[in-house]
Amino acid sequence: MATDTELVSFTLDDFEARTGSAVSMIRTIAGLYLRHESTPVARSKVLALAAAAGVSTAAAQTAVSRLVDRGVLDQSENSCLHVTVQAQAMFARGNQRIFTPRQMQAEDWWCLVAYSLPETMRPLRHQVRKHFLQLGGGLVAAGLWIFPAYLRAEVLQVLSALQVRSYATVFTTQTPDFPSTPSQAARLWWDLDRLETLHTTFLNSTESLTNEPASFSEAYRGYVLMIDAWRALPYLDPGLPASMLPSTWPGILSRERFLQLSGSYEAKAQHFAQDVLAG
């Protein structure tokens, strides 16, 4: 049986928010820095972190209020902010997915999920579909989804959190017998055009970032912008094997770009953020 925290933490996932918007940027700042603070953080310091990432004070004030309303942040009587328990669970769940992007190899296994929900549970059908898409699932047919096997644990977490595990059968298999070619199957089961656009957008948005930031503040701003542009991609893109992707697939370049920039920016960005939070 899923806990209330698990149920709510899944509803807090948001991969539709516009990258670079004030709400998206402060959500990213909360996931990178605020959630690690042992005590609530003064609202003024959160606004300072937002300003250093290029978000105006007015936009940041509104964004913070929206994230409080959505249950990502909580505000105490003295205007200090902290990440809610449910959002902590959400950020922890996403940590490995975002910072350790995975790519399937030809010999890797697959996870298939077959389920049928009764008419009385119709609203949950939409929820299952939404969360399976956000896990990077491919829709093979009504009630049948396919994932890389390394996502099996997360698939089971979704089914448990939505309390529909008893309606689903989960299979693990090595070699699906595709109805056509692997690349044609990928186009049928995943929205590769959308994923390609997202990868290209990430590459374009990080094009101006130098390989080595000149200062801690530059590293911080670049890192927050980069993570904000990236964080939805390793969820929506399951990391399909090369045989299922176009030869010009930009996901390979964007993954390499993310790992390279992370190595150059993360430590200096952390240093800057800690200075602001400790000030």
Return the structure tokens found at 225: 């912008």
Q: What is the pLDDT of residues 170-186, one digit of tens each?
A: 999 987 888 889 999 99
* pLDDT value of residue 1: 42
CATH 2.40.10.330 at 110-173, yes or no: no
Number of H helices, E strands in the chain: 12, 7
H or E stretch including 111? strand 110-115
Among 3.50.50.60, 1.10.10.10, 3.30.450.20, 3.90.1150.10, name the CATH number for the domain at 4-96: 1.10.10.10
* pLDDT value of residue 78: 85
Q: Is the CB of residue 30 less than 8 Å from the CB of residue 111? A: no
Domain ranges in the chain are 4-96, 110-173, 191-278
Cα separation, 39 vs 253, whole angstroms: 39
Q: What is the pLDDT of residues 102-145, one digit of tens each?
A: 899 989 999 999 999 999 998 899 989 999 998 999 999 999 99
Q: Strand 110-115 relative to strand 138-141: parallel, antiparallel, unpaired? A: unpaired
Cα separation, 250 vs 196, whole angstroms: 6
Longest dimension (CA), the chain: 62
Give the end-to-end CA distance of the chain in Å, rounded to a whole number. Answer: 43
Cα separation, 51 vs 57, whole angstroms: 7
Question: Per-residue DSSP letters for 130-155?
Answer: HHHHHTT-EEEETTEEEEEGGGHHHH
